[in-house]
Amino acid sequence: MNTLSRKQREIAERHALLLDIGRRLIETEGYRNLGMERIAEISEYSKGTVYQHFSCKEEILIQLCNHNSIGLKSMFERARAFEGSSREKMLAIFVAHELWAALNPNCLELHQTLCGGGTKEKVSNDSLELHNKLDFEIVGLVASIVEEAVEKKELHEGASLSAPELVFSLWSLCHGGLQLRSLDLPLAKMGIKNPQAATLRAIESMLDGIGWHPLSTEHDYVAVVERIKSTVFAEEQHACESAR
Amino acid sequence: MNTLSRKQREIAERHALLLDIGRRLIETEGYRNLGMERIAEISEYSKGTVYQHFSCKEEILIQLCNHNSIGLKSMFERARAFEGSSREKMLAIFVAHELWAALNPNCLELHQTLCGGGTKEKVSNDSLELHNKLDFEIVGLVASIVEEAVEKKELHEGASLSAPELVFSLWSLCHGGLQLRSLDLPLAKMGIKNPQAATLRAIESMLDGIGWHPLSTEHDYVAVVERIKSTVFAEEQHACESAR
DNA sequence: GTCAAAAAATGACAATACGTCATTTAATGA
DNA sequence: TCATTAAATGACGTATTGTCATTTTTTGAC
């Protein structure tokens, strides 16, 4: 049993190693140019061995995505635990999402590659189930903040948007914003100097519009964002700044 | 000259034919499974001939994207010409965007595939320039509606968002919403019954939040949406309904 | 109508990558 | 020590991209 356990540990270690090589290759050369042969070379194992870990290229993709999602979920949990009003917690979610995207290059592109174009049909059931479960949990987590706001009467039930619909809208806004930023459009030339700030103000406007108290006219949320960055996500914020 | 012109016409026709075959193949089997050989077979030309039209697979992709963008731009122009308040025109933009996405399957996926993963580096300069130009024009077109609102005092200059930033935010919201919908997430199970309506209400909230008059509490924009669908985009709306 | 020159079409070919599987190599424990 | 089991390997079959020498067609001068 000891030997079995040792063997299993070795395999798990190698699994992580191969995944990491994949991640780095994608980071430098893009998913398009990721080749199993290449991973084999770098890891100094043979192609067959790599295929014992990942039945196909797509399996690497989804496992990287799941790894990213686990990170996001954990950051969201810390955001929800922020001591403050429900709206401040939602702001912490935004900050977490931004930092997560900044710290995980390509995470959006990977997620999208995974979901688009019949890619999901090639991956293992286990990975796919985990993927769905994570998505579900993440949405539920954010929705719980909205529900808390309703309970605390900071947001009126029966406002124009239901809790999950509001989550969907905010998700759209953040996700869409990151996406547009990642498309290397000449945003600056279009007059969009600071897209992140624009997204933040759009969120504020939207939350004001549905009447989530305290309104942005009643509270300095920009200062709150700074406080969140320097307390809850101090480490991530630092990593983010030193990376550029 | 007549002969030259005839030849050119033949080539242009074939070019359109090949593009259309590509579009249909992508529609049924996804961009991943698009093969030049396959296009050659279906068109009954040889592979070499196909390569005389498109230097690579990516060239087909960008040309399809550009074709889609031209369609979007033309719909946006009609939306801007809607007779109504500036905010109603912006709503017409939303309707146009939704219809466009519904009528052009995969258009988002294609656009994203094009922009992600070093794909742009393989395409011709002409196509790339056209692509950038179209993006620019489309953003400018929407921004002009915001500027009109400011001129008409329906929206206060110096509101929390500048004109291009507001465009960016709305774009994020619409684009992100469509994207999330296209990822075949179990939105319904997450409590999001009607994502399109959610996006619409999010837009209304956001525009209310920045004080774009008349506010949604002062005006029945749902009715306006219906009117836009049945007048400006009657044809598209019909095509959209009969397609499903 | 003929024919040489130009243009266009063709498909064989090299290159690259995925995924399989028979064979080789290593580990185990009786 | 050795038979058995597990694991690693890389040659191979298949598929797809993109090129290019060769063949075919078109053109226009005579």
| pLDDT for the residue B3 | 41
A193 shares a domain with A172: yes
Cα–Cα distance, B85 to B211 (Å, whole number): 14
Do B132 and A205 make contact, defined as CB atoms within 8 angstroms? no
Tell me which residue range forms the domain holding A124: 57-243
B67 shares a domain with B50: no
CATH number at A13 reads 1.10.10
Q: Is the pLDDT score of A125 beyond 70?
A: yes
B199 shares a domain with B150: yes
| pLDDT for the residue B2 | 44
Closest residue on chain A to B170 (Cα)? A173
B132 shares a domain with B239: yes
CB within 8 Å of A241: residues ≥ 6 apart? none
Region of poorest pLDDT, from A150-159, B137-146, B208-217? A150-159
B63 shares a domain with B47: no
Do B202 and A176 make contact, defined as CB atoms within 8 angstroms? no
Q: Which tens digits make up the pLDDT trace of B103-120?
A: 998 999 999 999 988 899
Closest residue on chain B to A163 (Cα)? B191
Do B163 and A191 make contact, defined as CB atoms within 8 angstroms? yes
| Residues of chain A contacting residue B204, judged by C-beta atoms under 8 Å apart | 160, 209
pLDDT band at residue B81 under the 50/70/90 scheme: very high
- φ/ψ of residue A123, rounded to 5: -85, 170
Closest residue on chain B to A135 (Cα)? B185
CB B116 within 8 A of CB A112: yes
| pLDDT for the residue A2 | 46
Of A29, A31, A198, the CB nearest to B169: A198
Mean pLDDT of A86-115: 96
Say whether the CB atom of A43 is under 7 angstroms from strand D: no
| pLDDT for the residue B243 | 84
| pLDDT for the residue A4 | 56
Minimal Cα–Cα distance from A165 to chain B, Å? 5
Distance C5 C1' – A160 CA (angstroms): 75
Q: Is the pLDDT score of B1 beyond 50?
A: no
Say whether the CB atom of B124 is under 7 angstroms from strand C: no
pLDDT band at residue A157 under the 50/70/90 scheme: confident
Mean pLDDT of B165-169: 95
pLDDT band at residue A188 under the 50/70/90 scheme: very high
Cα–Cα distance, A121 to B238 (Å, whole number): 33
Look at phi and psi of residue A30 and say left if phi exceeds 0, alpha if psi is from -120 to 50, else beta. Answer: left
CB B210 within 8 A of CB B146: no
Q: Which residue has the higher pLDDT, B150 or A183?
A: B150
pLDDT band at residue B4 under the 50/70/90 scheme: low
pLDDT band at residue A185 under the 50/70/90 scheme: confident
Total domains in chain A come to 2
The number of C-beta contacts closer than 8 angstroms across A and B is 201
CB B150 within 8 A of CB B164: no
Return the structure tokens found at A233. Answer: 């996500």
- Mark the nucleotides of strand D covered by protein, meaning any atom under 7 Å from a CB: 7-11, 15-21, 26-28
A47 shares a domain with A76: no
CB within 8 Å of A67: residues ≥ 6 apart? A19
| pLDDT for the residue A243 | 84
B64 shares a domain with B178: yes
Q: Which tens digits make up the pLDDT trace of A53-68?
A: 999 999 999 999 999 9
B45 shares a domain with B67: no
**Tally of residues, chain A:** 244
Interface with chain B: mutation pick from A167, A192, A196, highest number of B CBs within 10 Å = A192
Do B164 and A190 make contact, defined as CB atoms within 8 angstroms? yes
pLDDT band at residue B198 under the 50/70/90 scheme: very high
Mean pLDDT of B16-25: 98
Say whether the CB atom of B47 is under 7 angstroms from strand C: yes
Q: Is the pLDDT score of A155 beyond 60?
A: yes
| pLDDT for the residue B129 | 96
Minimal Cα–Cα distance from B177 to chain A, Å? 5
Q: Is the pLDDT score of A35 beyond 80?
A: yes
pLDDT band at residue A28 under the 50/70/90 scheme: very high
Q: Is the pLDDT score of B230 beyond 80?
A: yes
| Nearest nucleotide from residue B50 CA, by C1' atom | C9
B174 shares a domain with B75: yes
CATH number at B206 reads 1.10.357.10
Buried b (16+ CB within 10 A) or exposed e, A47-71: eeebeebbeebbbbbbbbbbbbbeb
Q: Is the pLDDT score of A213 beyond 70?
A: yes
